[in-house]
Amino acid sequence: MALRKTASPAVKLDSLSDVNDLGKPWRFTDEDTGLTVTRSCVWSPPGCHPVGCGLKLYTDENGRLVKVEGDENHPVTQGRLCVRCIALKDYEYNNSRILHPMKRDRDKRGQADAWEEITWDEALDLIEERYTEITGKYGKESFVNFGGTGREGGVSCMTYTAMVWQTPNACYTQSGYACYFPRLAAGTMSAGLVYPEMDYAGCLPGRYDDPEYHVPEAVVLWGKVPTVSNPDGAFGHAVIDLMKRGSKLIMVDSRVNWLTTRAAYHLQLRPGTDTAIGMAMLDVIIREGLYDHDFVEKWCYGFEQLAERVATMPPEKAAEICGVPAEDIIGAARLYANAEAATIQWGLATDQKTNGMQQAQCIIALMAITGNIDRPGGQITTGGAVALDADTEEDDEYMPYMALDDDELRGKMIGLKEYPAYCGMSQNSHADLTLRCMETDEPYPLRIGAFAGNNLLACTSAEPKRWEAAINRSLEFVIGFDCFMTPSIQAVCDIVLPLATVVERDSTVAAAYGSAPLYFGTQNKCVDEGDCRGDLELLYILGKRLNPKRFEEFDSYYDLLQFLRFGKSRMFEELREQVCIQSKNEYYKYEKGLMRPDGAPGFNTPTGRVELYNLGFQQFGDDPLPYYEEPDFSPISTPELLEDYPFVLTTGARTYAFFHSEHRQIPRLRELNPNPLVEINPETAKKLGVVDGQWCRVFNQFGEAYLKAKLTVSVKPDVIHAQHGWWFPEEDGNAPHNYGVCRSNINNLIPNFHVGKLGFGAPFKCMLCNVEGTDENFDTDMQLIQDKFGELR
Amino acid sequence: MEAMGLLIDYELCTGCQSCEVSCKEEHDYPVGKWGIRVLDDGPWEIEPGHYNWNKIPVPSDLCDLCIDRTSRGREPICVHHCLANVMTYGSVCELAKKMDGTKRQVIFTPVYKPYEKLRD
């Protein structure tokens, strides 16, 4: 994706006073305080998805970060900032950060006081020695790299595996890769589009008032609350900007949230039934002839078959399945289809169900048949011509990953035979089958591993205790790198490397992973801290050691950065002076031959059209048309379980305070949400004898978790919602307690191996459970958190 | 002296708490002390399918309207960081002109440590 030459002057917010820093260079001296200000587009850590928000980082004469403020020069964030970067100083100088490499004997895993501080040279020697020994004995494929979400390290996981570890087994450790990738896969297989994003004028210099832009009349937020979440790299509050400009909201969400109270339609469906809503909306739009006839005729494949299929799910039938009035489904479909421009943000909930790929298929079909793909104010896309491979001579500033170039080794990827679509597209071993491999040594033993931005015991993985046991059973040596000790590193790692934060290293960020034309920024270093190294710098250092031939062409970390992240004609120094450059974009690329590598008009699919009848799905053994399937555990599919587990469990609604399992040790953030919460409808709580604030045991046939009751009509009486990602850094880190990571982990209730036909999707948002009140009191003592973590280094 | 205040369009306050944490960082307020808090009124059902849910940032008795910043011509830090961009700082007379009764709004004129004057 090409960038504009330079940064455009930002559009000033009305609330910003006349005295401000608009127009200031990337580094300047603040006139009032004499402090040095470094402007930066930050990503992680602290954890976030790549929104690349604009920050002004104030450092004193000793190079200490003393203040953080939103950068009003940023084209999209315009000075606005969320709590996690506002409290960046408290993260940076938190007294529990890991600042030096440490090692521990394998037989002392789980012992928090057994770590021994070592030098970088010792750490690299040890890693090289064990890597050479173990992969020499079991093969390169015996290495598994556990990737996490969002953070730079997690996203670089495939590049690590290909370039440094030289193993086919990068593994995002969530069952069914139930996060983001199923949507990418559906987008790619349906339309050759990586991720059609809501168009919020992020790449236009005039933003919402740019003559090229059209404010959408309708915005659909489907399984997503973008204001609270870190919505896949989009600036969530853009939705508020659009509402101010007249956009009407359609919300598809199982909970009443703040946005639903401002929505024209709120389809409050039973968790996990989204595909039925999608099919019914398509049925309404097709039956009433509200679709874009011209677009369908020219650019869609399989419309008749789709029409026939969705006719089997009229709104009345969906209404019954989903528990939503049929007239609301009809009204929402009409509002969406009748808009001149309408846009959909599709959320994580899409991925967190076994039937999720079919939901994704419906959503792509909605975008397509209404002609909203690549229309101003509709879905913005990069087009299909963006390669995911970094090895290109093009001046493309985005975030690709490297693929393993050894085909024989690549063929050993765990799950490639069983789930070729999943493994082939994501370049990841299949999560569930990787778990089984560590339990059984089938098809071959995994014996060495590393974590890349992943805290799987607290956050990512279903049945976390099972993952812990499997890792400790199979892996002889495990490498961790992070800013803080996590329960996962504490339980299973033998060496830990200190990770630099976003202010301690130079790097780049492409908003939304570069999957939509938005902007590209530089993360500019302003602080030196301990022995810490950035995610990509670590990749460079480890690569030089373990795969020196591959890294011969790089004389410095900056050479590698340039190779991986931006074009050949510009240098980092040049880009960083611009801080943030918007992308160039053309709408209606499919008409102009800009979506296919061969330059022909149309979409980058075998038929050149958006495949409503999906040949890719068919090729890989799934139905080419969307179909509704009940969750594996639900009131309809397993009525026999209702006596024991009468409630539908949905999990993981986001909070402003935390990025997944991060930030629990930042007092000013923890204070916003001190305890793990379970939301229960007051009517239900009354029947259960549970009062507001009481600690409850939430349980099902797979496990249990203790959470604090929040009584709210956000959830319907038959639905329970539980927060995710909880652990307690203030508690004892020694096994078996391990920071209390098991106590409140809602993933104890989520099984592995309930994935869709293509291997994608898992039931994190739609299980069954029961709840009982307890006499326990696990309330967090905020004074203790303040005393333990409040004093900065 | 002209009364200064904060106009808050709470119709679109999302409750992101950027004002709360910004204020704590700016004034170095620890756990338990706040210069502004987001009042969370909801959700409660008015009639089937329609809920009251308003999030309203309310300055505390520790709000000094960021005198250090405003004396230099900058806006209070809560205004600067407000993700929904629904806070405006200014003279109460000017702010009142922005209120026309068509949307949910409120103006606050906080007083810093008002108890200090109780024995004057």
Mean pLDDT of A698-726: 98
Give per-residue pLDDT as tens, A109-145: 999 999 999 999 999 999 999 999 999 999 999 999 9
**Radius of gyration for chain A, computed over Cα atoms and rounded to the nearest angstrom:** 25
Inter-chain residue contact A261 with B51, CB threshold 8 Å: yes
pLDDT value at A31 more than 70:
yes
**For position A389, what pLDDT does the model report?**
40
**For position A514, what pLDDT does the model report?**
87
Each domain of chain B, given as residue ranges in start order, spans: 4-117
Mean pLDDT of A159-163: 93
Q: How many CA atoms lie within 13 A of A535 on its CB side?
A: 32
Lowest mean per-residue pLDDT among A53-62, A441-450, A554-563 = A554-563
> Angle A100-A103-A108 (CA atoms, 0-180°, nearest 5)?
140
Q: pLDDT confidence of A266, banded at 50, 70, 90?
A: very high
Mean pLDDT of A668-690: 98
Mean pLDDT of A39-63: 96
pLDDT value at A386 more than 50:
no
Whether B79 has its CB under 8 Å from any CB of chain A: the answer is yes
> Angle A131-A135-A138 (CA atoms, 0-180°, nearest 5)?
145
pLDDT value at A624 more than 50:
yes
Distance from A111 to chain B by nearest Cα, in Å? 31
Inter-chain residue contact B45 with A713, CB threshold 8 Å: yes
Residues paired with residue A482 on neighbouring β-strands, in sequence order = A498
Distance from A240 to chain B by nearest Cα, in Å? 6
Return the HEC string of A348-403.
HHHCCCCCHHHHHHHHHHHHHHCCCECCCCCEECCCCCCCCECCCCCCCCCCCECC
**For position A7, what pLDDT does the model report?**
95
**For position A302, what pLDDT does the model report?**
98
Threshold 0.90, pTM exceeds: yes
Distance from A214 to chain B by nearest Cα, in Å? 21
Which residues of chain B lie closer than 8 angstroms to A245, CB-CB?
none
**For position A529, what pLDDT does the model report?**
82
Close Cβ partners of B52 (under 8 Å, ≥ 6 residues apart)? A261, B41, B42, B43, B44, B45, B46
Average pLDDT of chain A, as a whole number: 95
Q: Which domains does chain A have, with CATH numbers?
A: 1-93+503-585 (no CATH), 97-191+409-499 (3.40.50.740), 196-380+601-619 (3.40.228.10), 639-789 (2.40.40.20)
pLDDT value at A783 more than 70:
yes
**For position A463, what pLDDT does the model report?**
98
**For position A396, what pLDDT does the model report?**
56
Which residues of chain B lie closer than 8 angstroms to A671, CB-CB?
31-32
Return the HEC string of A542-553.
HHHHHCCCCCCC
Q: pLDDT confidence of A358, banded at 50, 70, 90?
A: very high
Which residues of chain A lie closer than 8 angstroms to B31, CB-CB?
667-668, 671, 782-783, 785-786, 790
Which residues of chain B lie closer than 8 angstroms to A266, CB-CB?
49
Q: pLDDT confidence of A393, banded at 50, 70, 90?
A: very low
CA distances from A137 to A130, A184, A449, A470, A542 (A): 11, 37, 15, 20, 20
pLDDT value at A399 more than 70:
no
Which residues of chain A lie closer than 8 angstroms to B5, CB-CB?
none
Which residues of chain A lie closer than 8 angstroms to B83, CB-CB?
80-82, 227, 236-237, 240
**Radius of gyration for chain B, computed over Cα atoms and rounded to the nearest angstrom:** 15
pLDDT value at A587 more than 60:
yes
Nearest to B17 among A83, A89, A714 (CB): A83
**For position A1, what pLDDT does the model report?**
65
pLDDT value at A764 more than 50:
yes
Phi, psi of A751 (to 5 degrees): -85, 155
Residue B115 identity (one-letter amino acid): Y
CA distances from A255 to A50, A179, A252, A716, A720 (A): 26, 20, 9, 7, 10
Mean pLDDT of B33-61: 97
Helix (H, G, I), strand (E, B) or coil at A618: helix
**Closest residue, chain A, to B70 (C-alpha):** A17
Give per-residue pLDDT as tens, A490-541: 999 999 999 999 999 999 999 998 889 999 999 999 998 879 999 999 999 9
pLDDT value at A403 more than 90:
no
Which residues of chain A lie closer than 8 angstroms to B22, CB-CB?
81, 86
Lowest mean per-residue pLDDT among A159-163, A235-239, A737-741 = A159-163
Q: pLDDT confidence of A194, banded at 50, 70, 90?
A: confident
Bridge pairing between strands A647-651 and A719-722: parallel
**For position A692, what pLDDT does the model report?**
98
Q: pLDDT confidence of A170, banded at 50, 70, 90?
A: very high
pLDDT value at B46 more than 70:
yes
Q: pLDDT confidence of A397, banded at 50, 70, 90?
A: low
Q: How many CB pairs under 8 A join A and B?
A: 132
To test the contact with chain A by mutation, choose from B33, B36, B53, B94 the residue with the greatest count of A C-beta atoms within 10 A, namely: B53
In what helix (H) or strand (E) does residue A469 lie, and over which residues does it extend?
helix A464-474
Largest CA distance in chain B: 53
Inter-chain residue contact A786 with B24, CB threshold 8 Å: no
**For position A400, what pLDDT does the model report?**
63
**For position A402, what pLDDT does the model report?**
78
Which listed CATH number (3.40.190.10, 3.40.640.10, 3.30.70.20, 3.30.1330.80) goes with B4-117? 3.30.70.20
Q: pLDDT confidence of A398, banded at 50, 70, 90?
A: low
Q: pLDDT confidence of A392, banded at 50, 70, 90?
A: very low
CA distances from A455 to A98, A368, A459, A480, A490 (A): 15, 37, 6, 10, 10
Inter-chain residue contact A86 with B79, CB threshold 8 Å: no
**Alpha carbon distance A323, A330 (integer Å):** 14
Residues composing chain B: 120
Lowest mean per-residue pLDDT among A326-335, A564-573, B46-55 = A564-573
ipTM above 0.90, yes or no: yes
Inter-chain residue contact B79 with A790, CB threshold 8 Å: no
**For position A446, what pLDDT does the model report?**
98
Give per-residue pLDDT as tens, A274-289: 999 999 999 999 999 9
pLDDT value at A391 more than 60:
no
Mean pLDDT of A450-465: 96
